[in-house]
Chain A
Amino acid sequence: MAEDDDLNLPRAAINKLIKETLPQVRVSNEARELIVSCCNEFIHLVSSEANDICNKNTKKTIMPEHVLEALSGLGFESYVPECQEVLTECKHVALKKRRGSSRLENLGIPEEELLRQQQELFAQARQQQLEEEQQEWLQHQMELAKETSSQQEEPS
């Protein structure tokens, strides 16, 4: 069974999902292991079905709609709305990312100029850090000087 671990979903993740679903319920270890096995079977079942649907549509790659159709066909149509919702969310997030990167491109600043500005910012940051370090060093020196003078006043 131990070798199968790589082919199974991680126990911890399944445990977490069970806990989220039934927070106050005690679930035996044996039952948890079984649920892990059931997930395997579920994935195989839906994958095979989705693969068949994919082939019927003369496609080479299994697309999300094949998975959703497989779910419906196997009696898991209740899962479809939520799956569709997260897929849509995925698309929105991906779109935002693309828009975000194109915003940078649309600034109209050529790359060399952007690089120059970046170098300038680095130099400024380095300078600032240098000044801060110098300040710290000066302060440290002053404190040392104070200590030395106060020690000199005390009898050794």
Chain B
Amino acid sequence: MDVKSSKPPVATGLPMSRVKIIMKSSPDVDHISPDALFAMTKATELFVAHLSNETFKNNDKKGIEYCELANVVNNDDIFGFLQEVIPHKITVREYWKLIGKVDEDDDSEKSSSESE
């Protein structure tokens, strides 16, 4: 492990240690310089702001809900990589239609996404 656990000279809004753990859980990612970790942390902070702003702008409502995030993710190319994380929700009925009504006995009241 190459990353020193020294305090960053400039404060970050997210903990670098946690960002490091997530980075290293990516396949093949091995050695990360402290400055690279810092850049990654900062970029993630900007990402949060960007995603929140885009969602809020595009939906023109008072709050941010799941469906609004799903909208942004599915419409905006830049957030395309999140489509598996935030697919549009469908009702159970729609799901049954999609799978050809195979499991009619499955009477769960889930309104979660099809990938789950």
How many A-B pairs fall under 8 Å by CB?
182
Q: Output the nearest chain B residue to A50 by Cβ-Cβ distance.
A: B36
Do residues B22 and A9 form an inter-chain contact, with CB atoms below 8 A? yes
Instruction: Please give, as numbers and ranges, the residues of chain B lying within 8 Å of A75 by CB-CB distance.
Output: 77-78
**Residue in B9, B27, B48, B62 with the greatest tally of chain A CB atoms within 10 Å:** B48
Residue A156 is within 8 A (CB to CB) of chain B in the complex: no
Interface residues on chain B, size class: 35 or more
Mostly, the B contact residues are: helix
Given contacts A7-B25, A27-B64, contact A64 B39 (CB under 8 A): yes
The interface bits of chain B over 20-50 (1 if a CB of A lies within 8 angstroms of the residue's CB, else 0) are 0111011111111101101110111111111
B47: which A residues are within 8 A, CB to CB? 38-39, 42, 76, 79
Cα distance, A150 to B53, chains bound together (Å)? 75
Q: How far is it, in angstroms, between the C-alpha of A36 and the C-alpha of B103 when the chains are bound?
A: 33
Task: Decide yes or no whether A121 CB sits under 8 A from chain B.
Answer: no
Are A47 and B23 in contact, CB atoms less than 8 angstroms apart? Answer: yes
> Is B19 engaged at the interface, CB distance under 8 Å to the other chain?
yes
User: What residues on B are CB-neighbors of A18 within 8 Å?
Assistant: 48, 52
Contact with B along A61-93 (1 / 0, CB 8 A): 111101110010011101100110011011001
Minimum CB–CB distance from B40 to chain A (whole Å) comes to 5
A13 to B, closest residue via Cβ: B14
Asked if A9 and B14 make an inter-chain contact with CB atoms under 8 angstroms apart, the answer reads yes
Is B44 in contact with A93, judged by CB distance below 8 angstroms? Answer: no
Contact A21 B35 (CB under 8 A): no
What's the dominant secondary structure at chain A's contact region?
Answer: helix
**A-side contacts of B53, CB under 8 Å:** 21-22
A138 at the interface (CB under 8 A from B): no
B residues near A61, Cβ cutoff 8 Å: 2, 31-33, 36
Q: Is the CB of B86 within 8 A of A34?
A: yes
- When distances are taken between beta carbons in the complex, the residues of chain B under 8 Å from A31 are 55, 64-66, 68-69
B9: shortest Cβ distance to chain A, in Å?
Answer: 4
Interface string of A29-42 (1 = CB under 8 A from B): 01100110111111
Chain A residues contacting B78 (CB-CB under 8 Å) are: 74-76
User: B residues touching A (Cβ–Cβ < 8 Å)?
Assistant: 2, 8-10, 13-15, 18-19, 21-23, 25-33, 35-36, 38-40, 42-53, 55-56, 62-66, 68-69, 77-78, 81-82, 85-86
Query: Can you list 20 A-B pairs with a CB-CB distance of less than 8 A?
Result: A8-B22, A10-B15, A14-B48, A25-B62, A25-B64, A26-B64, A28-B65, A30-B65, A31-B69, A38-B86, A43-B44, A61-B31, A61-B33, A63-B36, A64-B33, A66-B36, A75-B78, A79-B50, A86-B38, A86-B42
